[in-house]
Amino acid sequence: MLPAWLSKELQTHVEPQLMQISETGAAGGMVLIPMSTFNDIASFSAKVRSDRVPSKVALDALRSDGYKTSGEHTNSSGTMEVHLKWD
């Protein structure tokens, strides 16, 4: 249930950013993941008693899609900035 929802959530928020980056010919770039995504993961995780940190869940999902992640940090608005690279 979470993997399907998270895949759709990341597709909604991250895919448009990836499209913009790829249109420049780059093989990677900085994307933003909204705080609402992490809040929803935390809510789901509490229901299933998972101890995984929401940011790790999101980053693992991106990695499982073949992206390499680095430089992740949360800005003052709670949005995570993460550098994604692909082949």
* Nearest CA among 19, 33, 13, 16 for reference residue 81: 33
How far is 79 from 75, CA to CA, in rounded Å?
6
Domain count, the chain: 1
CATH number at residue 75: 3.30.1370
- Note the pLDDT tens digit of each residue in 18-76: 999 999 999 999 999 999 998 888 888 766 666 788 888 899 999 999 999 999 999 99
Please give the model's pTM, rounded to 2 decimal places.
0.84
How far is 30 from 34, CA to CA, in rounded Å?
13
26 backbone dihedrals φ, ψ, rounded to 5°: -75, 155
Read off the amino acid at residue 82: V
* Domain extent at residue 54: 2-85
